[in-house]
Amino acid sequence: MKYYRALSKTAGIVIAIIIIIGIAAGAYYYIQSQKTTTGKLITFVPLTGDFHKDIINVGKALEQDGVKTVQFSVWSGGDPNSVMRIYGIVEAAYRINNIWKQNNINVEIKVSTRYVSNPNDVYEDYINKWSLGQAPDIMANGYTYIASLASEGYILDLTPYLNNYTSFLNQFYPTLIEAMKWKGKIYGIPQDTEARPLYIRKDVAACAGLDLSGLAEKIKNGQFTWSDLYKWALKVKESGCAPWGLIHRKGSAHPDLIQFIYAFGGKLYDEKTGKLVFDKAAVYKWFTVEKTFADHGLLPHDMMSWDWAKQIHPTVVDGKTLAFIGGTWHWFEWQTKAYYTDPKTGQQRPLTAEEVHKFFYYTLFPSGIKGKHGLTLSQPFAWMINSKAGEQNPNYDKLKDLYHELAFLVVVKASDPDIIAIHSLISGHLPVTKTAAELIKNKTWVEELKSLKIKLDPVVLNNIKGIIEKTVNPINVQFLANVTYMLEYTTFTPKHPQYPKLASLFAEALDQVLRDKMTPAQAVNFIVEKIKADPDLEKSVEIVGEIPQNWTFP
Amino acid sequence: MAKSNLFSKIKGFVRSDAFIFLLPAIILIIVFYLIPIAVSVYMSFTPLRNWNIQRYIHEFVGFENYWRFFYMVTHDPTVQPIFITTVVFIVVTLIVNVLGGLGLAIATFFMGEKEASGTQLLWLLPRMTPIAVYSMIWYYFFHGSAIGTLNSILMALGIIHHPIDWGQSIIPWGPWMIIIFVNGLVGVSYGMIVFTSAISNIPKELVIAARVDGASNWSITKNILIPLLKWHIVYVTTWQMLSLLTTYDHIFLLVEWGLVNRYWGTTWALYIYNMAFTAAEKDLGLAAAAGVILVIVGAVLGLLALKIMGFDKMVKEPRGDI
């Protein structure tokens, strides 16, 4: 009885009135937000493939529909120099707003951004928040996520839009467009790509009497293989020129090492069956090469758990190894992060562009088979558009298609050659279009960029000018131009949703091999057992080949 | 008859003062415990992936997720070390947490007020430090190369001449030592707080009287403090055991960064996490099935712990002849 007395009649009435007022206010606000215009709404504008015309048509349609502001959000992640992965969209919106202004269209795109250090966190957040309608409208992230995002219907199939934009599509390197596909449809627009060169210390090689002239060409043609590199590393160690012959990145950076599988003629994905491939022979050879290096003290036994900033990079930039399996972005990272210990002062500092150029020779990843060309591996980033893009904007249910078209056109604009070229020059990633690659070679334009005379959204310019000052110089421009050829020899990791599981098994097994806890054959069988222990993985992976009996290294 | 009896009992309870007093707690338990458990059980029977609730929530796959879970556990070659590690981790860390917390609470009880609060604050630091930062500190401390603080100290003192890879080369003791140390240090503070607040509620007259009779710190501890902390010891032990069964955050980072061996440094909760979340596809149906099994295991262990520690006897009504 006390319960009923606890709330007096008057208090009950007051609470009920407050609740009713709240509900009424909410309903009124909702009705008002939907009532943005009178008359018939334009819900779709046929795209012509002429960007200028299309963006004006979309702008006019939005204006007529009573939309004054379109809110878009963009998320991405990566190293601090790669911020154009979000500012590319901000810049595109700025350019579109200017076009609309010039054509007296009273609509504006406003972009909110989020950039974090780990792109995987962006992906995780995206899938967590998609159902809640809180995922970003546009995301720049690794192409490997396309498979799971597309299969869930989380991202927009861009094929119908691109059917009208064939000349736009043809600007991109065809291999990159292939990487954007899932089940024959295109779900992303390439944002950047990279190559993973093998860096060789010029000073260490000279100390051991090794001749680097023409090496890149020999590796490209398959005349210099991993057996040759092993012999070089041994010579360096024996002559005391460096404590290590080879350093590579740690466990979480397995894509670098996946190159070994391709170098030994193996594959990771079967296009016909759509399944992942575990090639026992190629993986066995990879493990054997690394074990041989480790057994002779040329590669650390605990390589897979080395610390990035305190061990891996200082060892490389201080010249304590002959070779390093890295990425193009490292060329720039060594110039911005203090990994190098200056022999004169004993202090750590970044290398200068001149020093990086003086110390490092770069080439493709050597083949494991004589006569087979060298290779590299790319993991392009893609602009992906949320299948609910524009959801935060007025009349979304009716204007959905129009918002999607606008999001697509924003991404088209973000692929302007100068936006791609700026991203490449400040982050060390390779341009994804031929026109951007040409622009990088244009000295006048590069000079304008360096002196910050280039026309950009002031917000964007303000956020990247510090990076431009540090990274844009003739040596880096030349580096990018020199490594772009590697894209012709590039390979990719599979886009299969189960691939990360398989990749982490590779890293796990290799660690055991390097630490001498498993032989290469045991490690291969261990992976087979692990695949078979997981019903999903077992269904997704074809196990092919056998451990070779008479194969030896070097 | 029985039904109407039960109904009238419920009706009576709802109308009672006890219900009004318990209502906030009942709501919290329903919202934060019962509903999530019910949702987890439901999810475990669906093929839910990648948080795509709209697509999968109405699909029903029966016991498939449970079958997959048992299949993986029974076929995985790395399960045995993980299972042994989990048992060792829970037992040893639990002892460290409970005895450490109790020891600290009693020690600070005999200290001056300033020293006591300073000591308590110091022991709370591991719990206050963000997980990534805290794990990073111990990552560098136990790092297996010369950059590791422990190795540097031992080498500087001339005790060792080459760095020791504590978490990778001394199997299984090295990784066990690290994960128990890192988690134990965090867990101790919880017991300390509970025991300290319990001790502060013990009537001071008992301690003063004992002092007057010439009792030492040890006999005060043995004869007054510990017997009066029985309830709290049971609570902290059960709570910490369940917490250790499900914890994986610090261990995840230490394994991921390569500080400790992947098999002899992984516990059951982390194994389940990796099983469901390593792929780009987030296998939430499988995770929910594993979670339900973990809840059952936790409930059984919790009941067992209460039984062993004589919880039944403690809740018996007093006989009134004391």
**Digit-coded pLDDT (tens) for A264-317:** 999 999 989 989 999 999 999 999 999 999 999 999 999 998 988 899 999 999
> What's the token pair of residue B209?
């009287």
Residue A375 DSSP label = B
Distance from CA of A133 to the nearest CA of B (A): 12
Cβ pair A313, A334 in contact under 8 A: yes
Asked if B71 lies within 8 A of A250 by C-beta distance, the reply is: no
Name the CATH superfamily for B77-278: MetI-like (1.10.3720.10)
Distance from CA of B288 to the nearest CA of A (A): 16
Q: Which of B16, B48, B51 to mutate to test the interface with A (most CBs of A within 10 A)?
A: B51
> What's the token pair of residue A541?
């992976």
Cβ pair B77, A526 in contact under 8 A: yes
Going along A206-328, which residue ranges are E strands? 244-248, 269-270, 275-279, 321-325
Nearest to B191 by CA among B297, B105, B269: B105
Query: pTM of the entire structure?
Result: 0.82
Residue B61: which H helix or E strand, with range? none
pLDDT of A324 above 70: yes
Chain B residue numbers touching A526 (CB-CB < 8 A): 77
- Give the type of residue at A213: S
Cβ pair B179, B89 in contact under 8 A: yes
Size of interface A-B (CB pairs under 8 A): 96
pLDDT of A328 above 60: yes
Domains of chain A, residue spans? 51-194+380-472, 198-378+489-544
**The CATH number fitting domain A198-378+489-544, selected from 3.20.20.80, 3.10.310.30, 3.40.50.720, 3.40.190.10:** 3.40.190.10
Least CB–CB distance from A148: residue in B17, B278, B280: B280
Least CB–CB distance from B280: residue in A497, A532, A533: A497
What count of other Cβ atoms lies within 10 Å of the Cβ of residue B313?
Answer: 8
Range of weakest confidence among A30-44, A330-344, B27-41, B201-215: A30-44
Chain A residue numbers touching B279 (CB-CB < 8 A): 497-501, 536
What pLDDT, in 10s, does the model give residues B130-174?
Answer: 999 999 999 999 999 888 999 999 999 999 999 999 999 888 999
Asked if B52 lies within 8 A of A6 by C-beta distance, the reply is: no
Least CB–CB distance from A533: residue in B75, B257, B279: B75
Chain A residue numbers touching B24 (CB-CB < 8 A): none
pLDDT of B50 above 50: yes
Closest chain A residue to B20, measured at CA:
A3
* A interface residues, B as partner, C-beta within 8 Å: 1-3, 6, 123, 127-128, 130-131, 144-145, 147-148, 152-154, 250-252, 302, 304-307, 310-311, 497-501, 504, 508, 511, 515, 526, 529-530, 532-536
pLDDT of A150 above 50: yes
Residue A224: which H helix or E strand, with range? none
Is B50 near chain A, with CB under 8 Å?
Answer: yes
- Tell me the C-alpha distance between A62 and B183, whole Å: 57
Asked if B54 lies within 8 A of A131 by C-beta distance, the reply is: yes
Is B77 near chain A, with CB under 8 Å?
Answer: yes
> N- to C-terminal Cα distance for chain A?
89
A214: left (phi > 0), else alpha (psi -120 to 50), else beta? left
Interface pTM, i.e. ipTM? 0.78
CATH class of the region A51-194+380-472? alpha beta
Least CB–CB distance from A3: residue in B15, B72, B144: B15
Residue A100, helix vs strand vs coil: helix
Cβ pair B196, B184 in contact under 8 A: no
Range of weakest confidence among A16-20, A360-364, B157-161: A16-20
Q: Which residues pair with A430 in a beta bridge?
A: A193
What pLDDT, in 10s, does the model give residues A198-219?
Answer: 999 999 999 999 999 999 999 9
Chain A residue numbers touching B50 (CB-CB < 8 A): 127, 148, 152, 154
Asked if A148 lies within 8 A of B51 by C-beta distance, the reply is: no
Long-range contacts: A126-134, Cβ < 8 Å, 24+? A126/A75, A126/A154, A127/A152, A127/A154, A127/B50, A127/B51, A127/B52, A127/B282, A128/B51, A130/A154, A130/A386, A130/A388, A130/B51, A130/B52, A131/B51, A131/B52, A131/B53, A131/B54, A133/A388, A133/A391, A133/A392
Chain B residue numbers touching A305 (CB-CB < 8 A): 144, 168, 257-259
Is B59 near chain A, with CB under 8 Å?
Answer: no
